[in-house]
Each structure stands twice: as structure tokens, then as C-alpha cells.
Structure 1
Amino acid sequence: MDQLDRRIIAALQHNARASTTHIAATLGVARTTVHERISRMERNGVIAGYSVILRQAEDTPKVQVVVLLEVQQKETARIIKRLEAYPEVKLCLSINGEFDLLLSAEAPRIEDLDILVDELAAIPGVLRTNTSVVFGRRIDRG
């Protein structure tokens, strides 16, 4: 899977009923490219199926993690571009100190975030990660 595949998957995760024409226009690629890539991902089992997701109430709890990434400096822009493909990543901050990037990520289940953190660690240029689970918000002025 490459970056375009991830962007197509993100579009389908947002709306699995979106037409290939709509997805192609949104991503700035040919409709046939989107169609062929979706077909290939279905054949290869990357896309295992489609389902209906019921709306969750806004107060439905989600699991949140904070992930610190140490990255090779010359790869920072490329890594940030890759991070944009993960809908779970809600915030990415550039920081100083021992780590270079601070991410906040949310998902309905801790297992989803476990997979996410493994994928983040496998991105070329990511040297090290450190993950903490958020137990609660004590002050939130956002």
C-alpha cells in the first residue's frame, strides 16, 4: 500500500458509499485509478468488506493516546504527510527535546490504537516512539 491507497481507504472509511468519481475528484486523480486500486485492495484482502456504522452519540467515550515520535530530521515533512492519512490522528505538534513530534490519536477501541502505533513505528524515518494512554482530561480549554 502506498500513500494514494491510504488516502482512498481514508475516503472510503469516511463514506463507503462515495462514488469512485467523487473520490477521484477529491484526491485529484483519475477515476479509473481509484477504481483499479479499490479493486486490487479488495482482491488482496486489504479491504475485507464494507459495513454500516451507526452514529455514536457525541458523548460516547473514545480511547485517546499521546504518541511521541523521534524522527530523522530530513524525513520530517514526508512523515507528516504520511500521518495525514491516518484518520485516528487528531493532532500533530512539532516539539523540541528528546522527541520531534507529538501526536494525539483517538479510536473507539484500544486495539485500533495498538495497530496504529505499530504502523507509525514502521514508517521509514521514524526512529523511536513512546506512547501514553490518556486516562482523563483535567483541563480542556479547546
Structure 2
Amino acid sequence: MTVTESSLYRPDDLDRRIIAHLRIDGRASLSKLSDVLGVARGTVQNRLDRLMDTGILIGFTVRVRADLDEDSVSAITMIEVVGKSTDRVIRKLRGMPEIHTLHTTNGNWDLIAHIRTDSLGEFDRVLRDIRMIEGVSNSETSLLLSSV
């Protein structure tokens, strides 16, 4: 698939259903997905390949229950970007494994990053690294204390 083709591809209902099931169980086998979705195993494989090739699906991750991960540090960082450097900043942020999710937004902030680290020292390093990215002009961070 060429760059032009991949940028034009829009996921359909089946793609969205596959993604939804993978959000619940990222380890689901092709057979299980085909059974749940009522389509052939080969169809699921082809769809997953296309979602990966187009960059719509960028990987799989592990989610840990919050009570098993009590010592970790979790925060939301709002980031202001200077000029037209947003794409460059996003590429740098996506390369940081401590950034769990990254969102564009409107208002005073351009990006919002959900950060997870194993310690305050590591968290401090990640914040410094973010602030050192060329194009980042300002940031504000709020620690997430507990889920309610």
C-alpha cells in the first residue's frame, strides 16, 4: 500500500469492531476474533494487516490493574507547541515509552500526554525530556492521585 493509499484509507465498521475487541483483549487470537465478529479468520488477518500497514493500529500493549501498579506515577501533561512544529513534537513524544497516550486538543494547549513511570525520579526525567523537545514552549502537569 502506498503512502497516498494509506493516508486515504478510512476504517469501516468491521475495522472498528476489530479494534474495539482488541481494546478489551489485545491477546485475542485470530480464531477468537473471527468467531466473535462472524467473519472468516483470513478476513480478520487481512484487516489487521491493513490496519497495521496504514498506521491506524500502531501496536499492542499491556494494561495492568491500578491496584497492582500502586507505586507507579501517572500524570496528565498539557503541552503548548510553538509555530508549526506540532508534527515534529508529536514524533518525539511518540518515541517516549513513558507516554501512554497522546492527544491533540483545542484551547490554550496543543497536546495532552498521559505519562506513566515507575518512580518520581523517572517522572522528573520524563518532564525534563519533554520540556527539552524543540518546539515545546510551555507545559503544565497534574499528577493523577486516585481513580474514583
Summarize deviations over 1:40-68 as a string: whole Å, max 9, x none: xxxxxxxxxxxxxxxxx851322101100
TM-score (norm 1): 0.55
Equivalent positions of 1:46-85 (< 5 A) are 59-61=68-70, 62-85=72-95
Q: Shift of the alpha carbon at 1:98?
A: 0.7
Q: Shift of the alpha carbon at 1:111?
A: 1.2
Q: Which amino acid aligns with 1:60?
A: D
Percent sequence identity over aligned pairs: 24
Structure 1 unmatched runs, 5+: 1-56
Counterpart of 1:128 in structure 2 is 138
Q: Which amino acid aligns with 2:93?
A: L
Distance 1:110 1:64 in 2: 10
Q: Shift of the alpha carbon at 1:73?
A: 3.8
Summarize deviations over 1:68-126 as a string: whole Å, max 9, x none: 00002410011100011110000101011111000001011011111100110111100
Counterpart of 1:90 in structure 2 is 100
Structure 2 unmatched runs, 5+: 1-63
Q: Which amino acid aligns with 1:115?
A: R
Query: Does the alignment pair 1:104 with 2:118?
Result: no
Distance 1:101 1:65 in 2: 14
Equivalent positions of 1:19-58 (< 5 A) are none
Q: Shift of the alpha carbon at 1:137?
A: 1.4
Aligned length: 82
The structure 1 segments of at least 4 consecutive aligned residues displaced by more than 4 Å after TM superposition are none
